A and B are shown apart, each in its own frame.
Chain A
Amino acid sequence: MINYTEKIPNNVDLGRDRVLQRALEHWQPAYMGWWYDMGPNESHNYEVYLRTAISVEPDGWAQFGYVKMPDYRWGIFLQPRDEKREVNFGIHKGQAAWQEVPGEYRSTLRRVIVTQGDTEPASVEQQRMLGASCPSMYDLRNIFQVNVEEGRHLWAMVYLLHRYFGRDGREEAESLLARRSGDADNPRILGAFNEPTPDWLAFYMFTFFTDRDGKFQLCALAESGFDPLARTCRFMLTEEAHHMFIGETGVSRIIQRTCEVMNEHKVEDPSDVRALGVIDLQTIQRYLNFHYSVTLDLYGSDVSSNAANYYTSGLKGRFEETKINDDHVLSEGLYPVFEVIGDKIVRKEVPALTALNERLRDDYIREIESGVSRWQRVIDKAGIPFRLTLPHKGFHRAIGNFAGHFISLDGEVLREEEWKKQEHKWLPDSKDHAFVQSLMSGRVVEPGKFANWIAPPARGINNQPLNFEYVRFN
């Protein structure tokens, strides 16, 4: 008999909740089966220097030590409850925040939680083969940290399903372990989570762009009137911050290494750069274009009655809802969206309540711009005349007003054949992928060593040196 209260660090009084314990007794073995099948490949015996959350306090939040990932203590943590917290938006604004699921919103809330929860195991599945081509022990440790924390985020969502949604919730929790990223018959719910993450440049781009979408979705859910969801998401955000750090610094280190080699050998032409075993800036730009555009789709349709209903019901707010100075009901007010009319992109004002997806997407874009400007600093400091740019919001979109249209990087509406002719300049093609993967044909795991195509980080993890043994292979 497993003692779940010892095995699962928690602040939800798991030891006294028999119903929840029984549900987890059933689900936990299935989760472990999923982890062994779909977690990082061939990693189960490794001892990894990981951070584990054992409480929500800063000094108990991040405990570092070696752990075999199947033994990782996937905890259940909610931000401490604020007894005075209210529903802060929508028609229930001013009521005490809900501690149980309101009956009328039960199925909607369940769908919101399942959609968020589905992304967590999906990204583990997408990244499971990357250990075989890691550029260093430091990076290998980092991807494992991301993987176990995505696993913990799944636990967080499954806790909500088990605790608040009865049999329906248990069935949904099982389905979260049954779907598979990229599976033709039973795929993950959202498109970007069925795309492969075939190499480390894609991994870093994913953690920078797509984990940041996760952050904004979690921020919106952290405003929810359903208090357990809000508190769960608030704590998940703290872990997401480290994932984005890994992504941003990963891309930055690749750019830095490329710039170093370009300057050392005085080369600029992409084929000359590639011949020196680093990733040319043009390819990095194409990866950026792909991951940015695919991630923008995750925010959904520009005009959305679902998003309006979630908001009006008090289930999902705006980014930093309580810091916004308005009525928090959105009975009035307009928000700009764009649509394609003929060969023009036209700005249109729509009721702000219906444009909440677009608003969240715009909040996300502002933060992305800031991050890309930091990558640009690396290039500028190297004195290389190359500018990284974000594509137009309508570029390569499959969802929303731009879906079905062919928009260039700089926002020109093109005919399909014109767009296709230039696609290889804008998005990574099979040759780009083959080249990037050719650089990553094996793993670099000698402590302190790094693959040629990436610069070492400025410093190690948890004040450890760069040549620290972050992973013991046993």
Chain B
Amino acid sequence: MPKVVYVSPAGDSREIDVPAGTTVMAAALKNGIDGIVAECGGVCMCSTCHVFVDEKFFDRLPPAQDTEEAVLEIAAVERRPTSRLSCQIKVTDDLDGLVVRLPEKQR
């Protein structure tokens, strides 16, 4: 099963086994990762599941669609080049070891 590593703003990391096909957001909620709020329930309508994807993995993700790009504009912590919404990242076997860093705040 692929693993996803969530890194808190303080630098603490937690590695979670995530079934392929699950979103990075859903896995975070299920495993009680602080720092992913997912106010809209995972339909790309808010920006409270914002993450910074590790550069090694960023180019391996399918590109963000227009709606995700629009919503990232209102992220509580200003977006960076590797910003994504974790509700839009589906974990695959190819992404095993994916590292996402959580912003200091989501709202």
Contact = CB atoms under 8 A, between A and B. Distances in A.
Interface of A: 56, 58, 61-62, 215, 235, 237-238, 241-242, 244-245, 248-249, 252, 323, 367, 370, 374, 377, 457-463
Nearest to A240: B39
A12 B51 CA distance: 35
B41 A457 contact: no
B1 interface: no
A370 B107 contact: yes
A458 B35 CA distance: 26
A252 B107 CA distance: 16
Contacts of B26: 58
A376 to B, nearest CB: 12
B45 interface: yes
Contacts of B40: 238, 241-242
6 contacts: A58-B26, A242-B46, A249-B70, A370-B76, A457-B70, A458-B69
Nearest 7 A/B pairs, CB to CB? A238-B41, A241-B40, A241-B46, A459-B70, A459-B66, A58-B42, A242-B45
A213 to B, nearest CB: 14
Contacts of B107: 367, 370
B1 to A, nearest CB: 21
Contacts of A460: 66-67
Contact of A238 (B43, B73, B76, B78): B43
Interface string B76-98: 10100000000100000000000
B78 A377 contact: yes
B73 A249 contact: yes
A182 B71 CA distance: 34
Contacts of A458: 69-70, 73
Contact of A241 (B23, B39, B70): B39
B21 to A, nearest CB: 11
